[in-house]
Structure 1
């Protein structure tokens, strides 16, 4: 995917958070770790299960200095209506960005332009605004917030420890690797 290791592009949008409508730009993302969770549409089936799962883990993300931003091409008004109508979505404390112009979805190369919907995608962004990880799944395949937490921890570890990398299934506290000529063919 071409967006890996690129800076997020400028955007301005309206969002719903903590019972209020707010304006948000890319500048609100800089200076902290962030996760953008794109999903196709409000009032659907797989989407609330994913957003609810992230809501259940939001405090853990916050402890890690990570802010969550969910994004769909619905408006911030629709986000509020969904928040008011659904027990699952009512748990959400993170920012729900409306992208009716599809500019943000297009910036992240996640837009299904022929349908006006975002694909199901997750982007981990470092404090400099650089995209460090991307996960995109098909319409019917839900994501797992526990796995997202693991990936964010790995991204934060690698950023804090230059010269080290996290192997498959790495979890916080486990051994990492220091790539070198000595490791070639030994793993």
Structure 2
């Protein structure tokens, strides 16, 4: 039995452009237009899921996907850093930021650690692997990173080394506990 999971990163929003931890702002008009232009590239899938964030829900809608929110695919809970820029956090809490970036178990912001995110998303992936077929989900970039770390058996410290550009599709194909990975295919350039 083969399982296919396609994870689509959401369109750009002001928080990403400003290197700010997501605060629930909407995607930009250019992102909506780009997603709409790529909508007919996506093959049918069941289930179609979405991270419960505003930008993921708006991206899924622009892609024409009738997606169900999946809490296990939520982005990283940034606690009290939510809405702050990376520069602001670095200026106010340089040691905490350095610890958070270096230690996957750290959560100085009071939210969720990278380790906990990887475990949560890994649990979801194990469930998805039990069913044949194709799943499509619009998720935050950190969810794509967590799945990538998990399927490659990479150390959680590799999490920050994975770039996930906006509106890209990453595909994970698994059978018998072994996964193949195709990362970062730009939407709008062929069939996804």
Please give the TM-score of this superposition, normalised by the length of structure 1: 0.28
Please give the TM-score of this superposition, normalised by the length of structure 2: 0.28
- Higher helix proportion (structure 1 or 2): 2
- Higher strand proportion (structure 1 or 2): 1
